[in-house]
Amino acid sequence: MVYFLLLGILLLLILGPQLWVQHVMTKYNRHQEENFPGNGAELARHLLDRYGLNQVQVEKAESGDHYDPGDKTVRLSKDKLEGRTLTAITIAAHEVGHALQDAAGESLFQWRSRLGSIAVGAQRLGSFLLFVSPILSIVTRAPSAGLLSATAAFLVMGSNVILQLATLPVELDASFKKALPLLKSGYLEPEQYRGAEKILRAAAFTYLSASLAGLLNFWQWIRVLKR
């Protein structure tokens, strides 16, 4: 009974933030707002030009809204790109916030970008070790093969969890020190502020919910290795 209670609490902690993020994004993405003269793409382009970031492009995203510092591109999903909802406008401003972090050379953003490159390398190495560890285990019959598998699991899953946790302060800065002041400078009506704050908080905590799910996966993997 206690085990199932703990499992329920754990699932709530992991799935709760994800469900809340989805609820907030959907709630404010249903109705086109009459006071918005343009859609998400047009607002992003306007804000980028306003701050002299003419070289930064705005494109349709294939997998989630994000700013790509390598290509200097703000990418928005179709509903954010073409929509005039509060979610579309707010997320567009949030991603522009990342472009502003990049342009200013802010240390948190640069550190997160470097950590992202390290995480990619760690995951590739981990994937290779996961591939060779069963072979080594059969050939050598050494207990160190289990340690190799655990190391590989950490490189693949653990590095991603660390990256997502490190991303959280960068996301909070883009939301509340960049996007929100911009939106309050004449782009939103006062009655829309609270909704925008919820959306920006959800945008930032998307990475927290992902890291919690990653921790669960990592824990399950370690349990499998111990058997």
Q: Where are the domains of the chain?
A: 18-226
> pLDDT band for position 131 (50/70/90)?
low
When the pLDDT of each residue in the chain is averaged and rounded to a whole number, the result is 81
Residue 165: Cβ-neighbour burial (10 angstroms; 0-12, 13-18, 19+) = middle
Tokens 């950590």 -> residue: 115
User: What single-letter DSSP state applies at residue 190?
Assistant: G
**Cα separation, 207 vs 105, whole angstroms:** 22
Predicted confidence at residue 22, as pLDDT, reads 87
Predicted confidence at residue 18, as pLDDT, reads 76
| Highest-confidence segment of 23-37, 103-117, 149-163 | 23-37
> pLDDT band for position 140 (50/70/90)?
low
Q: Which residues on adjacent β-strands are paired with residue 59?
A: 75
